[in-house]
Amino acid sequence: MNMLRPLSPNLSIYKPQLTSTFPISHRISGAFLATIVLFFYLLCLKIGLICFTYENFYLFFFFSSKLILISVEITALALSYHLYNGLRHLFSDLGGFIFLRIGRKRLK
């Protein structure tokens, strides 16, 4: 009886669970925020404070204002999600949300 089956089940048969989705999205939002902070830190190191006196700097921000607004909204959404999910995680570690039995099976 030598069947060609995988040793472990394939990931396509698993349904996404709420308890595994939250930490994954928390890490993704944290990596996105760290990338944004690093990008602006390197941008400030490259440009310096003298850039605020140039007219071309303000023209660039004027013509790319829609792109900047969209990126600020996405960053604010990622920041708020990361903050509230981190607080939820800390609260659940301290014993909160005991009444929620998400992802746990009752043994009868």
> Which positions of the chain have pLDDT values less than 70?
1-13, 49-53, 96-108
* Nearest by Cα to 32 from 67, 95, 80, 69: 80
Can you tell me the distance from the alpha carbon of 23 to that of 3, in angstroms, rounded to the nearest whole number? 36
For residue 83, what are the contacts with CB-CB under 8 A and spacing of at least 6? Answer: none
Confidence (pLDDT) at 46: 76
Say if residue 82 carries a ligand binding annotation.
yes
Its pTM surpasses 0.75: no
Confidence (pLDDT) at 33: 93
Can you tell me the distance from the alpha carbon of 75 to that of 33, in angstroms, rounded to the nearest whole number? 7
Confidence (pLDDT) at 101: 55
> Which structure tokens are listed for 60?
């660039």
Confidence (pLDDT) at 102: 54
Confidence (pLDDT) at 82: 93
Q: Give the three-class secondary structure for 22.
A: helix
Segment holding 19, helix H or strand E: helix 18-47
Domain ranges of the chain: 18-93
